[in-house]
Amino acid sequence: MKFKVTPKLQLNAALGDDNPFASELREYNGNTGYYGTLLSRNLSPFFNVIYQPRSDTIVSLEYQRLKTYTLDTASDSSNHVDLSMGYIF
């Protein structure tokens, strides 16, 4: 989703979700990958604010939460905050 508040300010949001059926994952229980367990779901909401104070400068603040679930245990999560600045030439 994208929402332009003013010509110089915009808000963006997105959601990524990878969630296969557990029955399909259990068929391939021999392939555990690098983590030693089957990863069953990845969820990633994202939000950012982009501000253009001048015609040649952009500033962006971004937040993303990554959440990974394994097949039979609890989830692990991490938060990511990023501040970026760009110059248009």
Please give the average pLDDT of every successive group of 10 residues along the chain, which has 89 residues. Answer: 95 87 62 60 90 95 89 80 94
Q: What's the Cα-to-Cα distance from 38 to each of 5, 19, 74, rounded to whole Å?
A: 42, 12, 12
Cβ 66 vs Cβ 77: under 8 Å: yes
The predicted pLDDT at position 39 comes to 66
pTM for the full predicted model? 0.71
Quick check: 51 and 60 in contact, CB under 8 A? yes
Q: State the pLDDT at residue 75.
A: 78
